[in-house]
Amino acid sequence: LLNVPMDKDCGGDYFLYKNTLIKLIKNSEFIMVSTNFIKQKFTKYNSNIIVRENRLSARLWFSPLVNEFKLSEHQQRNNKDEIRIVYMGSNTHAEDLMIIRGAIEKIKEKNPLIRFFVIGGESEKNNWYERIDVPENYINYPNFVQFFRSVSATMDFAIAPLSDNEFNKSKSNLKFLEYAGAGLSGLYSDVCIYRKLVEESGFGSLVLNSEEGWLHALTVAISNKDIMKDQGIAVRNWVEANYTIEQKRDWFDSLFFQVSDA
């Protein structure tokens, strides 16, 4: 957040609030972050940095949908044999999407029933995928969860390409948790932020960051679409049982009690 590359900050938003964010960090009683890497970056501004790993809100992710979103007719499943793959991310991931472009284009050439959907990903649309825009009334996070869970119910599996660079080392494993919370098994770039949860859960696949690696992983997943769907249900149950905020409520309570008693 404090050093976002210009090619990922096209509107200059991160640059504009950098000094304000630094001031906020310096003057806070403590800072809670999700990774040790981010902690190392922030310690020069504040000595009281606490690491708490990402978790999902059970209320948002595992309760019944109350504000279901419907895809437009042309983005709905038009053929029972369609293979529907989805990627979800902020608009700073153009470089990451390029990792899988060649592989996606090749598998779509071989099988016209393969459809690749992107939610966010980059600021401009591209013709090698189908863009799903987030409606204005679904942008705030609780509503976005409703939106993403609704869209994910129409998909077969998800992918998470991620370049292994300095900027992305500041990322966390939240995408794994959110894919799982939406009932999606996934293919993940074989980078440090995804390895722990893929190995711990036994779900998802780690993929070598090359066109050949992604082409192979996608081909295997497509050939085992039904297994991927079953794994999506299983990994959702696993995350609900192991990675919700409610299970670690004492983490947060103890931190805020410390501050209030100081």
- Say whether both 73 and 42 belong to one domain: no
Q: CATH code at 172? A: 3.40.50.2000
Residue 14's pLDDT is what?
74
Ranges 34-38, 101-105, 112-116: which has the least confidence: 34-38
**Of 215, 189, 187, which Cα lies nearest the Cα of 103?**
215
Residue 103 resides in a domain: yes
- Say whether both 67 and 139 belong to one domain: yes
- Say whether both 86 and 190 belong to one domain: yes
User: Would you say 182 and 152 are in contact if contact means Cβ atoms under 8 Å apart?
Assistant: yes
- Say whether both 109 and 168 belong to one domain: yes
- Say whether both 159 and 227 belong to one domain: yes
- Say whether both 105 and 179 belong to one domain: yes
User: Would you say 73 and 54 are in contact if contact means Cβ atoms under 8 Å apart?
Assistant: no
Structural domain span for residue 33: 6-51
Residue 249's pLDDT is what?
84
| Environment class of 23 (CB within 10 Å of its CB; exposed 0-12, middle 13-18, buried 19+) | exposed
Ranges 5-9, 24-28, 29-33, 35-39: which has the least confidence: 5-9
- Say whether both 18 and 135 belong to one domain: no
Residue 178 resides in a domain: yes
Q: What is the pLDDT of residues 82-94, one digit of tens each?
A: 999 999 987 777 8
- Residue 229 to residues 83, 89, 108, 199: CA-CA distances in angstroms? 11, 21, 20, 19
For residue 262, is pLDDT > 60? no
Residue 170 resides in a domain: yes
- Please report the sign of the dihedral spanned by the C-alpha atoms of residue 200, residue 229, residue 76, residue 150: negative
- Say whether both 36 and 103 belong to one domain: no
More confident residue, 220 or 29: 220
- Say whether both 47 and 63 belong to one domain: no
Q: What is the pLDDT of residues 58-79, one digit of tens each?
A: 999 999 999 899 999 999 998 9
- Say whether both 138 and 218 belong to one domain: yes
Mean pLDDT, the chain, integer: 91
Residue 166 resides in a domain: yes
Distance CA 17, CA 8 (A): 15
Q: Which helix (H) or strand (E) holds 97?
A: helix 94-110
Residue 258 resides in a domain: no
Residue 250 resides in a domain: no
- Say whether both 209 and 99 belong to one domain: yes
- Say whether both 143 and 25 belong to one domain: no
Q: Determine how β-strand 186-189 pairs with β-strand 31-33.
A: unpaired
pTM for the whole structure = 0.90
Length of the chain: 262
Residue 154's pLDDT is what?
97
How many domains in the chain?
2
Residue 257 resides in a domain: no
Question: What is the mean predicted confidence (pLDDT) over 235-243?
Answer: 98
Distance CA 186, CA 221 (A): 9
SS3 annotation, 153-217: CCCCEEEECCCCCCHHHHCCCHHHHHHHHCCCCEEEECCHHHHHHHHHHCCCEEECCCHHHHHHH
